[in-house]
Structure 1
Amino acid sequence: MSFVPSKSSAAPIVASVIDTFIAPPCLAQIEILFEDEAILVINKPSGLLSLSGKNPLNLDSVHYRLVQDFADARLLHRLDFGTSGIILVARNKHINGLLTQQFQHRSVTKTYQALLMGKLSADSGVIDAPIAKDAALFPRLKICELEGKTALTEYQMLSYCEQTDLSRVQFTPITGRTHQLRLHSQHIGHPILGCDLYGGIVEGSKKPVRMMLHAQTLAFTHPLTDERMQIHCPCPF
C-alpha cells in the first residue's frame, strides 16, 4: 500500500536520521590541566562524549561532569568520542564570547598526535580536501570538491615502525571541520588506527582499545590577562 499525502498537507515529510550509538561506561576521569576564575583547560579521556547525547543513555559527558562543579561551564570546542586530549572551557557566558572570537579568527592553534596505518610517502605536507555532509553516509562525512567546506591540515611524520607498519604523525589543523583529521587521514590512504568510521580497523584483526588520536597542544590568548598561553598534554600512546 502506498501513502498519498492529502492536498491540505502543509509541510513535506522528511526522513530523519536516527543515531543508535550508545556509549559504553567511561570510568576514566577528566584531568584539569589549568584552572582560574575565567577558564578551565582539561584532558578528556578517550571513550567519553564531549556533550551529552539526545538518548538518555548517553547522559555522561565532559560537559555533564564539569557542570557538577562549575555550573556555567561552556565548551569552546569538542573532541570526538574516541579522541583524548585538550579541551578549552569557559567558566561563564562572557568569557565564552571572548574566546569564541579567537576561534573565529583562527588565532587558537592546536596540534594532535596520531598513529596512522602504513608508511607515508612524504614526511610532511598539507592536506587540502573539502568536507561535506551526506545524510546517506551518517554519521560519516565525505570529501567533496563541489559541496564541501574548505578543510586544511598540515602534517609531519615523527617516526615509522616497520614491525607494526604504523606511522606516528603530528597534525596541525588549519580549519576545524568535524572529523577533519580522521577523514583527511583516510583521504591520503593512511587511516588513523582504531578509527571505525574511516577505515582504521583491519578486517579480521583485533580492534584497538581506542582510536589513536590525541589533542596534545593548545595555544590561545587568555581572555582577561592577554597572556599568550600554550598548554601541553603528553600523548598517552
Structure 2
Amino acid sequence: MQADLGKYQPPPDAGLDIIYQDDALLILDKPSGLLSVPGRGEEKQDSLALRVQARIHDAMIVHRLDMATSGIMVMARGREMHRALNRLFQQRESGKRYIAIVDGRLDPPAGTIRLPLITDWPNRPRQKVDHETGKPSITHYRLLSYQPEKECSRVELVPETGRSHQLRVHMLAIGHVIIGDNLYADPACRQQSPRLLLHACELSLLHPLSGKPMRFQSEPPF
C-alpha cells in the first residue's frame, strides 16, 4: 500500500531523472509525492511507472517506494529481465540504504530493530507492530549527525526486509518518528517539513545479464 492520507497531488512531470539505463534495466530517481504505480481511481493514475512506460515502452516495475519517499528505484526492460530482477529482490540479493531526518537524538547511536509488522486494517494504509501475527521485519540504523537547535537527527537506515512502511513504523516504535510523516508523526513533527524526510539513497545489485556487481547512489534533497 503506497497511498498516504489526503488528496493526491503528484509533482508536475518535468521528465525522467534517469541515473542509469541499458537493455536490461533502468535506474531512476523518484520524486517525493509521486506514486510508484497507479492507485485506485482515475485521480491516482499518474505514477512513476506510467511516466516511464510512456517513454520507454518495455519498462516494468520491480519494486516500489512509498508515495512520500523519494529516491532510487529500478525497472526492468522486458519480461525476461523482469523475472530475473524479481528473483534478485525476492532472494534478498539486492541492498538498499536510506537517509532520514528523525525527531530527537538516537541513543544508542546504532542498532538493529526487529519488530514484526502487519497492516492496521481499521486504519489503512497504516501499518503496526504485532508480535502475534506480524511478519518478521529487520532494520539497521546508525546516527550520522544531530542538530541540537532543531532536536533532530540525520540517520542511515538499512532494511533487511521490505515490509510496507517498515522504516517509518520502526523509527516510530523506538521513539524517533521521521520528520514530515503525515501518517505516523504528531502535528508538531509533521509540520516541520512539507514532505517526508526519507530518501532511498543507494541501491546495489547484480546485473541480471552479466552478473556484475553494480551500485547506484542518489544524494538526498534535504
* Structure 2 residue identity aligned to 1:162: P
* The structure with more radius of gyration: 1
State the aligned residue count: 218
* Structure 1 residue identity aligned to 2:200: A
Match of 1:24 in 2: 9
Q: 1:127 to 1:216 in 2, by over 3 A?
A: same
Trace 1:1-237 onto structure 2 (pairs within 5 A). Answer: 21-27=6-12, 29=14, 30-199=16-185, 201-202=187-188, 206-237=191-222
* Structure 2 residue identity aligned to 1:216: C
SS of alignment partner, residue 169 of structure 2: helix
TM-score, with normalisation over the residues of structure 2? Answer: 0.94
* Structure 2 residue identity aligned to 1:168: R
d(CA) in 2 for partners of 1:197 and 1:68? Answer: 31
SS of alignment partner, residue 110 of structure 1: strand
Unaligned runs of 5+ in 2: none
Q: After the TM superposition, which parts of structure 1 deviate over 4 Å for at least 4 consecutive aligned residues?
A: none
d(CA) in 1 for partners of 2:5 and 2:201? Answer: 30
Q: 1:33 to 1:114 in 2, by over 3 A?
A: same
* Structure 1 residue identity aligned to 2:155: V
Conserved in 2, the CA contact under 8 Å of 1:133 and 1:142? yes
SS of alignment partner, residue 202 of structure 1: helix
SS of alignment partner, residue 7 of structure 2: coil
Q: CA deviation at 1:200?
A: 5.3
- Superposed CA deviations along residues 198-222 of structure 1, whole A, max 9, x for unmatched, are 125417x745121000000000000
Q: CA deviation at 1:76?
A: 1.1
Conserved in 2, the CA contact under 8 Å of 1:194 and 1:200? no
Q: CA deviation at 1:225?
A: 1.2
SS of alignment partner, residue 193 of structure 2: coil
Conserved in 1, the CA contact under 8 Å of 2:30 and 2:71? yes
Q: Which has the higher contact order (CA 8 A, sep 6+)?
A: 2
* Structure 1 residue identity aligned to 2:132: L
d(CA) in 2 for partners of 1:100 and 1:87? Answer: 13
d(CA) in 2 for partners of 1:225 and 1:201? Answer: 49
- Report the identity percentage: 38
Match of 1:10 in 2: none
Unaligned runs of 5+ in 1: 1-18
Conserved in 2, the CA contact under 8 Å of 1:194 and 1:212? yes
Q: 1:118 to 1:28 in 2, by over 3 A?
A: farther
d(CA) in 1 for partners of 2:162 and 2:125? Answer: 17
Conserved in 1, the CA contact under 8 Å of 2:5 and 2:183? no
